[in-house]
């Protein structure tokens, strides 16, 4: 995170971690915090799974995970990996053979806990397959599936037990001289997950995959994830994130990005600043924002748009946004461009006109960025 001398209260000092690769996507170090999701189709159904991977990638996912519970799934992975625009992580539970098949199918990462796949020879075989196929590993500790000896030692799932479990799995990989791994330690309890992640962040320099597991439906899960992941990210912990929702994977990606955008850690698409509306509104703010969110989904350029119901807050917000609209009286309002008052606009033409202005501004920002990149070469 680059430091901002004008607004130091926005600085987030990221924890220093090693960098690994998940396919072509770097995770950890100074790489941008990546956003992941997971498909929920039958993994053996190439067409349906690939469609979901592509939809998630279009929404901004950097990495997509696919469950590989059987051979039909690992067979399908080969074709999915070939066609996917983003690296694929294969989720393996216990079966070491599925892990080997997935690595050979070309996935970028295996989600597997080396302590759960049997004797040392199996662990070595999986590590060899990962190494031979340039495949990294994600150790995934989960409060709900801790090893029996840890539950006996600690009595119940707790942050210390989770961290101990993670470090045991790490040791197995390190003993086999394998260092291309990242780690998660998820819990559905926000406090437990946050405490475990903080302790883990101090105990290892491996990149950290953040998640609040089984967070719930779209609204409650979003809030839980924003609190849990938001706090950790704010403290500088986390190199890649997955928001787990009982909802479409595309929603997980959108929520993940919104969390990162709220903290200034990633920027993508239009950040809409809008008021909640009240009796002073000069137009229907809620309907307008709903319509604009849909109409502006295709914009990937990071930029801001303020849609404010009246002059109480409109001009002030518009000063800090690329495009702004503030409701006025008599069925019209004021358009602001690059923070400056520009022209009057009737409410009836507002949506089409704002979309046009945002598209123009996005083009201008892209051209400025390209010119700056050329000058820096």
Note the residues at the interface with ligand SF4 (CB under 6 A). Answer: 275-278, 280-281, 308-310, 312-313
Nearest to 174 by CA among 222, 135, 137, 215: 137
Q: Which is nearer to ligand SF4, 256 or 309 (CB)?
A: 309
CA pseudo-torsion sign 359, 362, 363, 364: positive
- Count helices and strands (H / E) in the chain: 12, 15
Query: Which residues fall within 8 angstroms of residue 330, CB to CB, at 6 or more apart?
Result: none
Do residues 303 and 261 make contact, with C-beta atoms less than 8 angstroms apart? Answer: no
What is the Cα–Cα distance from 288 to 374, expressed in whole angstroms? 38
Q: Which is nearer to ligand SF4, 155 or 276 (CB)?
A: 276
Supply angle C-alpha 92, 95, 100, rounded to 5. 75
Q: Which is nearer to ligand SF4, 85 or 316 (CB)?
A: 316
CA pseudo-torsion sign 112, 117, 123, 126: negative
Q: Which is nearer to ligand SF4, 151 or 272 (CB)?
A: 272
Q: Which is nearer to ligand SF4, 140 or 327 (CB)?
A: 327
Which tokens belong to 120? 């040392």
Q: Which is nearer to ligand SF4, 278 or 370 (CB)?
A: 278
Alpha helices by DSSP H, listed for the chain, are: 46-58, 71-83, 96-104, 120-132, 148-154, 159-175, 190-203, 218-234, 249-262, 285-295, 314-318, 350-376
Question: Taking the complex as a whole, how short is the minimal distance between the CB of residue 306 and ligand SF4, in angstroms?
Answer: 10
Question: Taking the complex as a whole, how short is the minimal distance between the CB of residue 278 and ligand SF4, in angstroms?
Answer: 3
Question: Taking the complex as a whole, how short is the minimal distance between the CB of residue 327 and ligand SF4, in angstroms?
Answer: 7
Question: Taking the complex as a whole, how short is the minimal distance between the CB of residue 282 and ligand SF4, in angstroms?
Answer: 7
Do residues 66 and 43 make contact, with C-beta atoms less than 8 angstroms apart? Answer: yes
What is the Cα–Cα distance from 311 to 314, expressed in whole angstroms? 5
Question: Taking the complex as a whole, how short is the minimal distance between the CB of residue 318 and ligand SF4, in angstroms?
Answer: 11
Distances (CA, A) of 166 to 140, 153, 161, 179: 8, 15, 9, 14
What is the Cα–Cα distance from 339 to 326, expressed in whole angstroms? 12
Question: Taking the complex as a whole, how short is the minimal distance between the CB of residue 289 and ligand SF4, in angstroms?
Answer: 11
Q: Which is nearer to ligand SF4, 217 or 316 (CB)?
A: 316
- Measured from each CB, the residue nearest to ligand SF4 is 309
Q: Which is nearer to ligand SF4, 308 or 334 (CB)?
A: 308
Question: Taking the complex as a whole, how short is the minimal distance between the CB of residue 356 and ligand SF4, in angstroms?
Answer: 24
Q: Which is nearer to ligand SF4, 24 or 280 (CB)?
A: 280
Question: Taking the complex as a whole, how short is the minimal distance between the CB of residue 328 and ligand SF4, in angstroms?
Answer: 11
Using a 10 angstrom Cβ sphere, with 0-12 exposed, 13-18 middle and 19 or more buried, the burial of residue 333 is buried
Question: Taking the complex as a whole, how short is the minimal distance between the CB of residue 275 and ligand SF4, in angstroms?
Answer: 3
Nearest to 211 by CA among 351, 310, 363, 65: 65
């Amino acid at each position: 995170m680059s430091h901002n001398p004008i607004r130091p209260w926005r600085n987030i000092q990221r924890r220093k971690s090693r960098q690994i690769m998940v396919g072509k996507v770097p995770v950890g170090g100074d790489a941008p915090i990546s956003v992941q999701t997971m498909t929920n189709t039958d993994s053996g159904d190439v067409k349906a799974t690939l469609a979901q991977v592509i939809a998630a990638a279009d929404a901004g996912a950097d990495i997509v995970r696919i469950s590989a519970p059987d051979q039909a799934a690992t067979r399908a992975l080969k074709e999915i990996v070939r066609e996917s625009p983003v690296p694929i992580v294969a989720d393996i539970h216990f079966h070491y053979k599925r892990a080997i098949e997935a690595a050979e199918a070309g996935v970028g990462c295996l989600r597997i806990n080396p302590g759960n796949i049997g004797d040392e020879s199996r662990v070595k075989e999986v590590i060899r397959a990962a190494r031979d196929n340039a495949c990294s590993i994600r150790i995934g500790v989960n409060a709900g599936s801790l090893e029996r000896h840890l539950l006996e030692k600690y009595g119940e799932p707790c942050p210390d037990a989770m961290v101990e479990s993670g470090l045991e799995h790490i040791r197995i990989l390190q003993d086999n001289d394998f260092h291309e791994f990242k780690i998660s330690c998820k819990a559905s309890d926000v406090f437990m997950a946050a405490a475990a992640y903080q302790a883990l962040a101090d105990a290892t320099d491996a990149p950290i995959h953040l998640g609040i597991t089984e967070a719930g439906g779209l609204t409650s899960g979003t809030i839980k994830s924003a609190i849990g992941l938001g706090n950790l990210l704010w403290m500088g912990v986390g190199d890649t994130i997955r928001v787990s929702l009982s909802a479409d994977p595309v929603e997980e990606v959108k929520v993940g990005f919104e969390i990162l955008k709220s903290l200034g850690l990633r920027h993508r698409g239009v950040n809409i600043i809008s008021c909640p509306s009240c009796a002073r509104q000069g137009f229907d703010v809620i309907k307008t924002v709903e319509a604009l969110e849909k109409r502006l989904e295709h914009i990937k350029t990071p930029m801001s748009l303020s849609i404010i119901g009246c002059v109480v807050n409109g001009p002030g917000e518009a000063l800090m946004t690329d495009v702004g609209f503030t409701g006025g009286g008599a069925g019209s309002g004021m358009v602001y461009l690059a923070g400056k008052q520009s022209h009057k606009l009737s409410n009836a033409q507002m949506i089409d006109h704002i979309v046009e202005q945002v598209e123009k501004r996005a083009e201008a920002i892209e051209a400025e960025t390209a010119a700056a990149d050329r000058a820096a070469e």
